[in-house]
Structure 1
Amino acid sequence: MAWNEPGGGNRDPWGSNQGGPGNQGGPPDLDEIVRKLQERVSGLFGGNKGSGSGGGGPSAADISFKTIGIILAGLFVVWLFTGIYIVDPAERGVVLRFGAYVKTTAPGPHWHIPWPIERVEIVNVDEISSFSHKAAMLTQDENIVDVELTVQSRIQDAANFLFQDQAPTKTLRDATETVVRKTIGGSKLDFILTEGRSAVAAMIQQGVQDLMDEYKTGLLVTSVNMQPAKPPEQVKDAFDDAIKAREDKERLENKAEAYANEILPQARGEAARAVADAKAYRDRVIASAEGETSRFNAIRTEFEKAPEVTRERIYLETIESVLSGGNMVLIDVPQGNSLMYLPLDQIMRKQQTSASSSSGTSMLDRSSNTQDSSRTASTPIRDVSRERRSR
């Protein structure tokens, strides 16, 4: 039965009768409830459970508020200490305030406003990551070649790596695919297979780095190692034959170049020697001609002074030069016994001496001297004979 129905005993929902003594049937006292609650809280922190009105010390409420303040202050200090962090030499610290980028800190001890206001993302910027890329591609001269390379990278800008690109590693792979196909497609097969491998790797590294900077991924491409390009297995034998033919061509060209380097200096030396001999012969002929000219001018001067004496001297010198080289002996015996002793040993010795002395002179000089002597002696002989006939 309900408390307000007839026969319900006039009971109220607070568990007391309205008509009881001491006004027990009224509603509960709220001040009493609050007081009891304070006594229980102060009891938890070591306070007196009584009202404390009888003593002269501080009340329980004052003690409880002071204790709570000390605890809160200690908790605040501990909370501030949670903002201390240390960044290693190989790392960078990225400070975020309510999730937004604030700054990047260098290696060493630092402090930030503790969570939940700020937090720090530690990023390793010295760690090298690598991946391999392999694909069959078409070259500029429409040949298919298998290319395999390894790309190594590290984080250059921690903030860009965390916030500018959603997937920097995937962007790096896609950029590598794009740059490799562009570079291989713009190069010829012989250049890729031979001396152009290092140049192709350098071009790929530069192209990938340009795209990484354009997309602000925060990555740095440290190296691109390209393996020797290979033709597809279906045409490998033909490519091997072509490479062997190219090597034979280079070997023959090197051999021909070595032969040319051996022959050309020798030919140049012979040409220089011939030119030097010609110059020496020219100088010798010029000097001989100048000497003959000077001698002729000297004889002409003497001839103008004493023509007769000069003619006689020239005649005698010419006869002496002509007869001195022969082996003829003239004997003028007008009468008497023509039998006489001839010193044949002296004649033979004289002939040998003249032959040895003339061997050091060239045939050209000897013939020129003979012709000059004959030309010089011809006129005086005729003049002397004519003079003698006139006499």
Structure 2
Amino acid sequence: MWSNLPFDLLSTIFSFLSPDSLARARSACQHWNICATSAYVAPSESCRHPPWFVAFPTRYRGVFCYAHNPITDNWHVLSIDFVPHPVRPIASVCGLILFRHTSSTSLQLSICNPFTRQFKPLPLLNITRTNPAVGLMELGPSPHGQIPHFRVYVAGGMSEAPRGSTSYETMLEMYDSQIDVWQIIGQMPVEFAVRLTVWTPNESVYSNGIIYWMTSARAYSVMGFEIGPNTWREFTVPMADQLEFAALVRRNEKLTLVGGTSGADAFLWELSDGDTWNSIGKVPVELGRRFLGDKVGWGSTKCVGIDGAVCLYKDLGSGMVVWREDVEKRKWEWIWVDGCCSIRGKQVQNFPIKGVLLHPNLASSCFGYR
């Protein structure tokens, strides 16, 4: 029966499989391999499975990254020798990873699928700029086919002014994967450009038409760009002057704040209407103690999240605290994930990492927009 199913129907069935099962299906026969390779998994479908954590060295350490499979609770090493080095991940989008090139002071971006070994440099920006903030907006499959559609926003940064001087850049640019070009879409207040350039990491969160960035000048605060009306705003966060670390993540399409203070717990808040933060929980005491070890504060903590999971981590060998959604039980649960110390009996050296969460997509059609 399976060999007689139409190609499009079999491909649709494969789109419901977890990455492990899909990989096994690809090895069954040539026909299944072709069907499975073309089975683009939409974000709404992939979220039924827990996202994978992919760790990249923060400094150049060869051509490998490390991925944690939450289904089997195993670590895997992935060769990324096909990616020009050095690069640094910014975030995941549509099962792909957005990188910035660290060999250049001006911003240059690329998109990559580490599981299918595909890599695509994005076109150069219209304005050459250094250290801008980067925002991502996931739109799902293209209306013209099973190709992921997303947009990248770049704001702030330093650009060259007349006579060789530099200035804060106030023009906002947007890249659309469907047309593969950068467009200048508006201007921003210079004070916001300064904050985004000096006090903001590259990471952003998109929720309900707004891209958010965390800033850390004196005390933590949040800056938001409302895409439709092209407006900017800033608002405070809970315990802003007490937080040793603070990060924004998206949980069930809502903006979530994760932060911890010295000698205290790590808390989570969710943004509701009217820019009001509501407490939604905290890291369990026993997991927090295990995560911190002999440290008394959360200062070295890193955090990443997408719909389906929030992960607190430090380096490759340290364990991770994960808040994960159990779709079948319809609840969120806290779990501990051991760090990557060995793979198949071979010891792995510990080093600082930058992590991303993503739902792996094994479809080669992800790069059909070239």
Asked if TM exceeds 0.5, the reply is no
Which of the pair has more CA radius of gyration? 1
TM-score, normalised to structure 1, is 0.15
Structure with greater helix percent? 1
Structure with greater strand percent? 2
TM-score, normalised to structure 2, is 0.16
